[in-house]
Amino acid sequence: MNKRLLTLLLVTLTFAGTICAQGRRGLRLNEVMIVNDSTSVVDDFGRYNAWVELFNSTFGPLEISSVFLTNDRNNNTLYPVPLGDVNTEIPARQHILFWADGEPNKGTFHTNFTFTPGEDNYIAIYDANGQTLIDEIVVPGDLKPGQSYARKADGEGGINNPDDWEVRDGSESKYITPSSNNIIKSTNNKVDAFAEHDPHGFAMAVMAMCIVFSALLVLSICFYIINRIGASISRSRKMKALADDEVEADHHKEQDSGEVIAAIAAALVEHLDAHDRESTILTINKVRRAYSPWSSKIYGLRELPNRH
């Protein structure tokens, strides 16, 4: 019964962990445009509206239906992202755009609120419970028409930390990127860094060999210690067993001397005419052989090539 309870508890804890892990904490506000002055994108109806870009910063798809978008600090549940739209699943490390046009009847991605140009605009995402804040930011009021307020790197940085955000004016270095990455990566920075600073691979060889050696050295030391502890435990057990045997032997010695046992045995034989009857049945028992690496299957998998 206890085992069943324990199993149930473990399963419950596992599921609780899974539910927690499936939360929408990886969702990020990524870029916002308060006044879309026809230099940016149009919605499905051909209109230039304010927009909010959300980014899935996790490495798995994220379903965002039933999370809340709001621009009101006193109303966390202002706009619930509707259920039942397949497009509300954001693929890993991808974006989704919401139009802040105050016309939710136009579709899933049209919010029921708008922004106020010239003032600080608060935007937040709350989880489905309406209580758990996922992300928030205050867009500065001095943002000009056609400018966006964007994270410097997609999904990176904290919650409501202006240091992680910047104003983008659409120039070559501050481009506006609705529904795409804020930083366009054409190459792998790590690879470029190695190509630039370690063209001969010497640093890589030294670092990597040190890491490989350290990993196996730590494992080796760990098992050296375990070996020692194991040996000491088995030695002490052996000593104890030997000591117990000696005590038991002394105890029997006191009670039964060899002469007494021999006399009793002789009396029994005389009295009962007892002797062993040999059975004529031979039984062969199957003996379970413990595993031996010498007979392991793996040595049969790759045989030496036959030389003809």
Displacement of CA 306 from its chain's centroid (Å): 47
Nearer to another protein, 42 or 225 (CB): 225
- State the nearest-atom distance from the C-beta of 196 to another protein, in Å: 10
Count residues binding another protein (CB under 8 A): 46
- Alpha-carbon gap, residue 225 to 278, rounded angstroms: 53
User: What are the angstrom distances between the C-alpha of 125 and each of 68, 73, 130?
Assistant: 6, 11, 9
Helix (H) or strand (E) holding 305: none
Binding mask 229-268 for another protein (x = CB under 8 A): -x---x----------------------------------
Q: Residue 155, class by beta-carbon neighbours within 10 Å (0-12 exposed, 13-18 middle, 19+ buried)?
A: buried
Count the Cβ atoms, other than its own, within 10 Å of residue 29. Answer: 25
- State the nearest-atom distance from the C-beta of 222 to another protein, in Å: 6
214 lines the binding site for another protein (CB under 8 A)? yes
User: What are the b/e assignments for 253-288, b being 16+ CB within 10 Å?
Assistant: eeeeeeeeeeeeeeeeeeeeeeeeeeeeeeeeeeee
- State the nearest-atom distance from the C-beta of 57 to another protein, in Å: 18
Nearer to another protein, 63 or 198 (CB): 198
- Alpha-carbon gap, residue 29 to 25, rounded angstroms: 11
Q: Could you give the dihedral angle defined by the CA atoms of residues 159, 164, 165 and 168, in that order, rounded to the nearest 10 degrees?
A: -150
211 lines the binding site for another protein (CB under 8 A)? yes
Among the listed residues 201, 243, 250, 252, the single contact to another protein using CB under 8 A: 201
Among the listed residues 12, 13, 72, 224, the single contact to another protein using CB under 8 A: 224
Structural contact between residues 27 and 138, judged by C-beta atoms closer than 8 angstroms: no
219 lines the binding site for another protein (CB under 8 A)? yes
Among the listed residues 4, 202, 255, 275, the single contact to another protein using CB under 8 A: 202
Among the listed residues 9, 42, 83, 215, the single contact to another protein using CB under 8 A: 215
- Alpha-carbon gap, residue 49 to 136, rounded angstroms: 21
218 lines the binding site for another protein (CB under 8 A)? yes
Q: Which residue has the tokens 């002469």?
A: 259
118 lines the binding site for another protein (CB under 8 A)? no
Nearer to another protein, 234 or 257 (CB): 234
59 lines the binding site for another protein (CB under 8 A)? no
Q: What is the DSSP letter of 44?
A: T
21 lines the binding site for another protein (CB under 8 A)? no
Nearer to another protein, 18 or 187 (CB): 187
**What does the binding site for another protein look like in residue numbers (CB under 8 A)?**
188, 190-191, 194-195, 198-202, 204-205, 207-209, 211-224, 226-227, 230, 234, 291, 293-294, 296-299, 301-306
